[in-house]
Chain A
């Protein structure tokens, strides 16, 4: 058949200059991914730090203040801070949410010297505020990660 072309001839060889620019681009992408992961980890560990590293000062300040206020209020209302020895799925899920606050999880534990009291609605609301602080911080860390990867402004 005259229309048939050997496979080897259909594939255009990549020019050397183009190939080296592709390698440089891939290297740059890997570097940016690693940086984004570091920023996300920093943002999780200390609320607002990820945005501060990206020089987004307003967002950094708001993330830090919001998570700090939620943790102080939650601990002050004697909310339950879940530990890793949770007995059921909800306790484990609560632990994951609380741990989302990063270093503030340990601050909350230190602040709540008298232990939780969920026998009243006040303590129950405190539990929700502590979980919200963690989830909000995870959201902020994800936002910082996306910004560092130049997916979001």
Chain B
């Protein structure tokens, strides 16, 4: 098998991709119907980002 190309992602890119993939998977597993799923995926994705960025800012004073 060919080795996969090496990915270099920034912290933010990695977080966005992670949040998107997990939100889609959770949305499809836990909800039925296109509208319910879309709503869940959107909310879950937004909360992932808000909480991730929030934790990042909360840790900022300790890095200096």
Given contacts A69-B21, A132-B22, contact A62 B28 (CB under 8 A): yes
The answer to whether B1 touches A111, judged by C-beta atoms less than 8 angstroms apart, is: yes
Place the interface of chain A in its size category.
Answer: 20 to 34
The answer to whether A76 touches B18, judged by C-beta atoms less than 8 angstroms apart, is: no
Check: A97 CB closer than 8 A to any chain B CB: no
The answer to whether B28 touches A76, judged by C-beta atoms less than 8 angstroms apart, is: no
Check: B5 CB closer than 8 A to any chain A CB: yes
Give Cα distance in the complex from A76 to B21, angstroms.
16
Which residues of B from 2 to 17 have beta carbons under 8 Å from A?
Answer: 3-9, 11, 14, 17
Residues of A within 8 A of B4 (CB): 72, 75-76, 111-112
Residues of A within 8 A of B3 (CB): 111-114
The answer to whether A66 touches B24, judged by C-beta atoms less than 8 angstroms apart, is: yes
Q: Give a binary string over B25-64; 1 marks a CB under 8 Å from any A CB, 0 the rest.
A: 1001100100000000000000000000000000000000
Interface residues of B (CB under 8 A from A): 1, 3-9, 11, 14, 17-18, 21-22, 24-25, 28-29, 32
